[in-house]
Amino acid sequence: MPETPVSLLERLRLQPDEQSWRRLVDLYTPWIRGWLARYSLAGSDLDDLVQDVMTILVQELPRFRHDLRRGAFRRWLRNIVLNRVRTYWRKRQPQAASGPDLDRLLNQLEDPESDMNRLWDQEHNQHVVRRLFELIEQDFQPTTWKAFRLLTLEGKSVGEAAADLGMSSTAVRIAKSRVLSRFRDEIAGLLD
C-alpha cells in the first residue's frame, strides 16, 4: 500500500528525521541570511544571527500549529526573525535598539498592511518555490526532470518535449506529474 504523502512541515512535527531537518535548513538558511543582511550586519554577526534564527526555528517547529489561515508558517517565521533581530540589537548595540531607523524597519515588517510585510511574503514565496525545486531535482532521474522542465518551465508542448527526449508523450506527462506531485507534497503548509 503506498504511503500517504506528508508535507515537510508535517514530517518535522510528527516524525522528524535528519533528512527532513536538513531539507528545512537548506531551504530557509539562504533566504533568512538575505533578509538579515538588510539590517547592516556583516560577517560573523550575520552568521551568528542566522544561526540563532535557525536554532529557534528548529526548537519551536514541533510546537507550530498551522491555524489554517493563508501564510501561517510565513507569519510565524517572520515573528521569529523580528524577535531575534530585536534581541540581537538590544544585546549588541544598545544605542541602536531604540534608534528610529531600526524601529521603523522592524515595525514595517511587523505591520501586515505594510509594503515591507508584503515584500517579505512575496520574496518568501518566490524563494521557497525556487529553492524547493532546486532541492527536489536531485531526487529524480535526469530525463524525468528534463521532461518536467521542458513542459512546465520552458512551455514546450508534450509532443516537442517527447521528441527532444526520445520519450513517449505518455512518459513525458507522467514525468511532469511525478515532479509536480512531489513538489506539492513538500511545499504544503509553507505557502498556504
- Mean pLDDT, consecutive 10-residue stretches, the chain (192 aa), reads 59 85 92 86 85 92 79 90 87 58 80 90 93 94 97 96 97 97 88 70
Whether the Cβ atoms of residue 190 and residue 20 lie closer than 8 Å to each other: no
Name the fold adopted by 140-192.
Arc Repressor Mutant, subunit A (1.10.10)
Grid cell of 46 as nine digits: 550575520
pLDDT of residue 100: 56
Residue 8 and residue 182: Cα distance in Å, rounded? 11
Residue 30 and residue 50: Cα distance in Å, rounded? 9
Classify 2 as helix, strand or coil: coil
Classify 50 as helix, strand or coil: helix
Whether the Cβ atoms of residue 31 and residue 127 lie closer than 8 Å to each other: yes
| Residue extents of the structural domains in the chain | 8-138, 140-192
Residue 141, φ and ψ in degrees, nearest 5: -65, 145
pLDDT of residue 104: 79
Contacts of 5 (CB under 8 A, 6+ apart): 181, 185
pLDDT of residue 6: 59
Closest CA to 53 of 69, 72, 34, 68: 34
pLDDT of residue 10: 83
pLDDT of residue 72: 86
Whether the Cβ atoms of residue 25 and residue 55 lie closer than 8 Å to each other: no
Residue 148 and residue 175: Cα distance in Å, rounded? 6
In the block, which residue shows the cell 518555490?
129
pLDDT of residue 168: 97
